[in-house]
Amino acid sequence: MAISRARLDRFISEHCQVNRKSVRLLVAQKRITVDGVIADDVAQAVDTFSHICFDHTVLQDNKAHYIILHKPIGVVCATKDEKHNTVIDLLDKQWSDTEKSSLHIVGRLDLNTSGLVLLTNDSRWSEKLTSPEHKVEKTYRVTLANPLNDDYISAFAQGMYFSYEDITTQPVKLTILSTYVAQVILTEGRYHQIKRMFGRFRNPVVALHRQAIGELILDDSLAVGESRSLVDAEVANIFGLL
């Protein structure tokens, strides 16, 4: 859901069919509340998730939703698909069709990649998560067809040039966990970036699993295919600010 912002007087004028000058009187009469507080400024900024009441009648009560889902292989990160189940299809019945239709996916995974997927209707939150300037780390566990060696570590740390986009990737941290398994931490999400980087070594990716986004870790408490709402602390702490 795109977050729209407006002045309080404009919002009340549009929703109550009164002119904006009349809103000043309504505010002076203490007949309008925003997020449970009596409004005292017609220029106050309100947005899509502001709880707004006029004479105790609710004019707007949109809830922000933040969901973590454990995506299985074979499910697409899309809201609709004619051939495959989507992450939306996996959501519990607690979510209404209206709520589901308001969600978008934060950082998609391809069909054959499993792991942590986030869904939200708060575009400001998702934009902050995906913005290159915030450098939110994404952590993956990668299983390869061929053995790993230290050459991978330095090559990933230096970044790789992709001629198709004419870009060089940001440095990527690679840790060898075992002969065929690596942990990869990156701050970008270029098209099939991990597979293409290992492709430079002619080493096919056998399995790819996203373990974390920022400080939010997908642990064993969430089974494959399951989802849950994030708690307030998780929503804020994903950026490592708490």
Which CATH topology does 66-237 take? Pseudouridine synthase (3.30.2350)
Among residues 35, 40, 41, 110, the one annotated as catalytic is 110
Q: What is the structure's pLDDT at 1?
A: 57
pTM listed for this prediction: 0.85
Pick among 3.90.220.20, 3.30.70.2500, 3.40.50.720, 3.10.290.10: CATH of 5-60: 3.10.290.10
pLDDT exceeds 90 at position 204: yes
Domain ranges of the chain: 5-60, 66-237
Confidence grade of residue 2 (pLDDT, cut at 50, 70, 90): low
141-160 burial by CB neighbour count: b if 16+ within 10 A, else e? bbebeeebeeebbebbeeeb
pLDDT tens-digit readout, 11-41: 999 999 999 899 999 999 999 999 999 999 9
User: How confident is the model over 108-123, as a mean pLDDT?
Assistant: 94
pLDDT digits (tens, 9 = 90+) for 40-56: 999 999 988 899 999 99
Q: 73-91: buried (b, 16+ CB within 10 Å) or exposed (e) per residue?
A: eebbbeeeeeeeebbbebb
Our answer to whether residue 92 is catalytic in this structure is no
- Which DSSP symbol is given to 239? T
